[in-house]
Copies of this chain bind each other. A is one copy, B any other.
Amino acid sequence: MMVARAEDIHNAERNDFHPQPDLNATLILQALDFVGVAVFAVSGALAAGRRSLDLLGVVVIAIVTAVGGGTIRDLLLDRSAFWITDPRYLVVIIAAALATVVYARAFRVPEQALQLADAAGLALFSISGAQIAESVGTGGLIAVVMGTITGVFGGVLRDVLCAEIPMILRRGNIYATAAIAGTSTYVTLQGLGIGRAGAAATGMAVIAALRIAAILWNLTLPVFSLKGPNDRS
């Protein structure tokens, strides 16, 4: 086999690179992961509510939304899925989903709540995903890809399961774009010698700001459209 296994890369990294992991960064990483799954669970439960699913269907969609991106990342990096090794994530997700149902029965959920929760989850997950890729020794390009997968694919799976067009594909709405911009910022700042925490905070701010600006002012990127004006549907 001509390829090195991610596991080998990881082992090499464990021995030669960071003999002692940065405890602070590890704790921040884990705390962000818990906040991120809770936020994405709320986003999933709200999407399920808009499809009028039954109560356990809501929990299923909340779980898929919250763990989908990170699970794909973990499978690709040959790690165990984070929620299998630490089932507390599932408890947090189920609690967040049920709390959303209870809240939404009593109060009106504002129109943009789903989009804002999604923007926050996107920022948290993209950067923590890039950090996890770094922690197994990948280079910058793969860290950007893994961060984007972590941030984007939980929502993609939610939208595919709810039979909606994935939010990332809605015309020029700066979604995957925000994740790529923020994780690239994070990787670039570290390359310039900025500390990890500062680079992470800046990257998250870039993602959240781009998404919120895109929502508030309908910012769009130039689109690539193959059809002529006559057959535009």
**Chain A contact residues, CB within 8 Å of chain B:** 1-7, 10, 14, 26, 30, 45-46, 48-58, 60-61, 63, 71, 75-82, 84-87, 90-91, 101, 104-105, 109, 135-136, 138-139, 141-142, 145, 148, 152, 156, 160-163, 165-166, 168-169, 171-177, 180, 220-227
| Shortest beta-carbon distance from A100 to chain B in Å | 9
Measured CA separation A166–B136 after assembly (Å): 35
Contacting A166 at CB < 8 Å: which of B3, B139, B161?
A: B161
Q: Which residues of B contact A180 (CB under 8 A)?
A: 56
| Contact between A54 and B177, CB atoms less than 8 A apart | yes
| Contact between B224 and A56, CB atoms less than 8 A apart | no
Contacting A76 at CB < 8 Å: which of B2, B54, B84, B171?
A: B84
| Contact between B84 and A168, CB atoms less than 8 A apart | no
| Contact between A6 and B169, CB atoms less than 8 A apart | no
Add 5 more A-B contacts to A57-B177, A84-B142, A90-B141 (CB < 8 A). A52-B224, A52-B227, A109-B226, A163-B165, A163-B169
Q: Among the interface residues A54, A85, A136, which one has the most CB atoms of the partner chain B within 10 A? A: A54
Q: Which residues of B contact A156 (CB under 8 A)?
A: 161
| Contact between A138 and B84, CB atoms less than 8 A apart | yes
| Contact between B166 and A163, CB atoms less than 8 A apart | yes
Q: Which residues of B contact A145 (CB under 8 A)?
A: 63, 90
| Contact between B142 and A87, CB atoms less than 8 A apart | yes
| Contact between A224 and B142, CB atoms less than 8 A apart | no
Measured CA separation A103–B51 after assembly (Å): 37
Contacting A169 at CB < 8 Å: which of B7, B53, B63?
A: B53
| Shortest beta-carbon distance from A40 to chain B in Å | 17
Q: Which residues of B contact A58 (CB under 8 A)?
A: 224
Q: Which residues of B contact A30 (CB under 8 A)?
A: 2
Q: Which residues of B contact A79 (CB under 8 A)?
A: 1, 3, 5
| Contact between B162 and A169, CB atoms less than 8 A apart | yes
**Given that A3-B85, A53-B171 are known contacts, is A176 also in contact with B221, CB under 8 Å in the complex?**
no
Measured CA separation A166–B48 after assembly (Å): 13
